[in-house]
Amino acid sequence: NRVRAYDWVIVDKGGDPDGIQKPMMTIDGQFPGPMIEVNEGDVIEVNVRNLASNATAIHWHGIFQNGTNWMDGAAGVTQCPIAPGASYRYKFNVTGQGGTYFYHGHQGVQALSGLVGPLVIHSRDEAMDQPIPYSSDRVVLLQDWYYDPDSELMRDFLSPGVEDAPMPNTALINGVNQAVCANHPSRPCSATSKHLPTLELAPGVGHRLRFLNVGGSAWFQVAVDEHNSLPVLEVDGTSVKPAPGSALVIAPGQRYSVILTTDRPGRDAFWLRARMVTSCFVGQTFPEHSIDEAKAIVRYRTYTKRHDDNEHLPLPTTTSKLQYIPTCKDMSSTTSFSPSPALPAPEYADHSWYLRVNLAIGDWRLQRGVMNSSSFRPNLKSPTLHRVLDGIAQNNDSFAQDGVLDAAFDLASELVISQNGAAAAETVDIILQNMDENSHPFHLHGAQTWVLCAGHGYFPGYEALGLHPEGKGLLDPANSSVVDNPLKRDTATAEGFGWVLLRFVADNPGVWLFHCHVIWHSEAGMGMQFLSRVDAMREWELPEDARQLCNAPEDELRKGA
């Protein structure tokens, strides 16, 4: 096990990922951010120095942070933001998990402004245990992209009377696309220097492509021309039995690894296409001249050191035979993918929470994301974790009673679970009932959830699914619609006017956000927190620099929120 150390300086920097200029917030001026690639069991240490004009916090999406809740990077939940001029050292280990992850800014909409990058954990048995061998391993970041400054988009969205979330202007693969400058005469643009990303892949063998949707709100459908087999091997860090397929549907926050075999005769260049699914933007259309498809080149080519001549090779001439399906549902999480090795879910849940989720116009005619009756706002000056630890230190558990943290069912934004020592790790069911026409891909920090079942309309009740009432085990395994080796992942969708039944074991001590990963929705408050294993938190001592972040004046902490 090694310590992988990084020094990052966060800086404001103008960028032009597709040729059109836009104010960005970056790590050392790079976009996408640098790749973190480690082995399972390593320690990741990232010294973040914030020289940008906004405060920030970096979240490690999908990392469990077991015993290091204050490294989770959720501003207002697990830490105060890193004010302009301040520094913070993230240090955590990655044990018990492998696969494809990413990191992103978790203050306001900074993840959209360039503060995002891949994080790959090679698990111990990765090399030996491949059901389909592969000879190279690549990362493919997908994201929607907006030309206007993200803070302005956010401000406009959260103004009185506005209901529609901003629409992307284009999409990027690995941070690149090519705009047609003539279509955007009012914006500074020079697309000529942009070369589309190229994946050089040796012919005749398998290659692992790790797709990540790191964007703000668009769903993507992904395929490679003339390659009709793209078996899935990994979903959000969970290895699965190779699942046949020829295209991917991927929601914001999700990741899939597939194997691409370079075995098509007669050609050596093909388009990889990632198209935003228009129909997920319910009732909205892309702005004029937007580009809804990002492309990359797949080139069969034996890899020798480095080819610098890609831009001189002919572009692919392939066409897409893909039927784009207007869907914003997860690729049937409940039936297509079986974890391998199996990860059986507990048969019983100790708690079952029914959470209604929707967007609504609230006070002052502002758009709010609502879970049951509450809408979440992070407390940037006094993060939940600090309030809980202070409460524990003062032998005062009012954090669980007085509304600072409220266990009441209808205050969905803050739920307390497993407070007391012994019965510590409780199993929790979440029935996420989506009352709204938009799909909501929900991400849980600090854990994966089993996706037991999902559907359209109203949750039919446990018995209708072949489960005992209140989730207590299978009624009749033969007649259950819950499969016996359900997928475990960290981002799962409640489709528009639909529901999803998630189960997880709340054994990770700390405060964990659970929120829609559509950034506009979460910024409007579509989120809540779980507090688990308070018993284990009694021993905790926050590092000094974690406290110090909160000493900055509140208006500094709020910059960029």
Residues lying near ligand C2O in the complex (CB under 6 A) = 59, 61, 74, 104, 106, 253, 443, 445, 513, 515, 517
Smallest distance, Cu ion to C-beta of residue 102, A: 19
H helix runs in 296-343, sequence order: none
Smallest distance, ligand C2O to C-beta of residue 254, A: 10
Smallest distance, ligand C2O to C-beta of residue 59, A: 5
Smallest distance, Cu ion to C-beta of residue 435, A: 12
- Name residues contacting Cu ion, limited to 434-453 (CB under 5 A): 440
CB under 5 to 8 A by kind: which of ligand C2O, Cu ion, none does 443 bind? Answer: ligand C2O
Cα–Cα distance, 51 to 139 (Å, whole number) = 28
Smallest distance, ligand C2O to C-beta of residue 78, A: 10
Stretch that binds Cu ion, among 52-60, 278-286, 298-306, 516-524 (CB under 5 A): 516-524
Q: Which residue is nearest to ligand C2O (CB)?
A: 61
CB under 5 to 8 A by kind: which of Cu ion, ligand C2O, none does 518 bind? Answer: Cu ion
CB under 5 to 8 A by kind: which of Cu ion, ligand C2O, none does 521 bind? Answer: Cu ion
Identify which of residues 75 and 345 has a Cβ nearer to ligand C2O in the complex: 75
Cα–Cα distance, 242 to 151 (Å, whole number) = 41
Cβ pair 77, 383 in contact under 8 A: yes
Q: Which residues of 532-552 are buried (b: 16+ CB within 10 A; e: fewer)?
A: bbbbbbeebeeeeebeebbeb
Instruction: Single out the residue of 80, 121, 518, 536 in contact with Cu ion (rule: CB under 5 A).
Output: 518
Identify the helix (H) or strand (E) that includes residue 503. strand 498-506
Identify which of residues 337 and 520 has a Cβ nearer to Cu ion in the complex: 520
Cα–Cα distance, 324 to 23 (Å, whole number) = 33
CB under 5 to 8 A by kind: which of Cu ion, ligand C2O, none does 445 bind? Answer: ligand C2O
| 516 near Cu ion (CB under 5 A) | yes
Exposed/middle/buried for residue 449 (C-beta within 10 Å: 0-12, 13-18, 19+): buried
The CA-atom distances, in angstroms, between 314 and each of 266, 270, 394, 546, 556 are: 15, 11, 69, 53, 51
Amino acid at 295: K
Judged by DSSP in three states, 477 sits in helix
- What is the side-by-side order of every strand in the sheet holding 58-61? 36-39, 116-122, 99-105, 58-61
CB under 5 to 8 A by kind: which of ligand C2O, Cu ion, none does 299 bind? Answer: none
- Name residues contacting Cu ion, limited to 519-538 (CB under 5 A): 521
CB under 5 to 8 A by kind: which of Cu ion, ligand C2O, none does 516 bind? Answer: Cu ion
State the binding string over 11-30 for Cu ion (x if CB under 5 A, else -).
Answer: --------------------
Stretch that binds Cu ion, among 182-190, 216-224, 489-497, 518-526 (CB under 5 A): 518-526
CB under 5 to 8 A by kind: which of ligand C2O, Cu ion, none does 386 bind? Answer: none
Smallest distance, ligand C2O to C-beta of residue 516, A: 9
Identify which of residues 253 and 510 has a Cβ nearer to ligand C2O in the complex: 253
CB under 5 to 8 A by kind: which of Cu ion, ligand C2O, none does 440 bind? Answer: Cu ion
Amino acid at 441: P
Cα–Cα distance, 417 to 503 (Å, whole number) = 14
Smallest distance, ligand C2O to C-beta of residue 74, A: 6
CB under 5 to 8 A by kind: which of Cu ion, ligand C2O, none does 253 bind? Answer: ligand C2O
Exposed/middle/buried for residue 416 (C-beta within 10 Å: 0-12, 13-18, 19+): buried
Beta bridge partners of 25: 12
Cα–Cα distance, 338 to 249 (Å, whole number) = 17
By CB under 5 A, name the binding residues for Cu ion. 440, 516, 518, 521
